[in-house]
Amino acid sequence: MNDGNFSEMENLPQDQEQETEAEAPETNVEENLNNKIEELEKKANEYLDGWQRSRAEFANYKRRIEREQAQAYQAAAGNIIKKFLEVADDLERALKNRPQEGKAAEWANGIELIYRKLLAIMEAEGVKVMDVSGQNFDPSFHEAISHEEADGYSEGEIIEVVKKGYVLGDRVLRPALVRVAR
């Protein structure tokens, strides 16, 4: 009997060792899988972060290009419109001394229609006449052709607009030529 008991005792630790060895590979496989999952999650997060950055960079690039194109269009339109401002000035001067009677008056009415059409086209393109009446002189928007004493005006106030100023958006196409009180 001692032989049987002894062999049972020898078998008992071996069975426990076998169970422990069987659990060890499962634990290692589980740890390996968890490590692999963590690595893959890190890579996925890196890729997601990179994709989001690229997407944001592209959106910024697209906005910058659109802004640059709008500025280029505005600059080109402004350069062309500047040339027509002189024509508008000439038409305005011609209409100041228009004849009131006869065929010349009819002709002047036709000239006025052309002048209004030119102003409407420029307005449709975003060109606006500067309203400088009652303002103080600002070299960003006005060009002084004279500084003179004037009753009823404070120093630096615009007395008269000699030539209209025009803006396109926030850009000055032509400053207003003004007389300024001193």
Q: What is the pLDDT of residue 166?
A: 93
Task: Give residue-wise pLDDT tens across range 53-99.
Answer: 999 999 999 999 999 998 898 888 888 999 999 999 999 988 988 88
Q: What is the pLDDT of residue 13?
A: 52
Q: What is the pLDDT of residue 135?
A: 85
**168 strand-pairing partners:** 127, 171
Write the CA distances from 138 to 12, 53, 147, 182, integer angstroms: 103, 44, 13, 14
In angstroms, rounded to a whole number, what is the distance separating the alpha carbons of residues 119 and 129? 10
Reference 65, options 57, 54, 76; nearest CA is 57
**Which CATH superfamily does the domain covering 127-182 fall into?**
Head domain of nucleotide exchange factor GrpE (2.30.22.10)
Per domain, the residue ranges of the chain are 127-182
Q: What is the pLDDT of residue 57?
A: 96
In the chain, which ranges are continuous DSSP H helix? 2-96, 102-124
Q: What is the mean pLDDT of each run of 10 residues along the chain (182 residues)?
A: 49 51 72 94 95 96 95 88 91 87 87 93 91 85 89 87 89 91 86
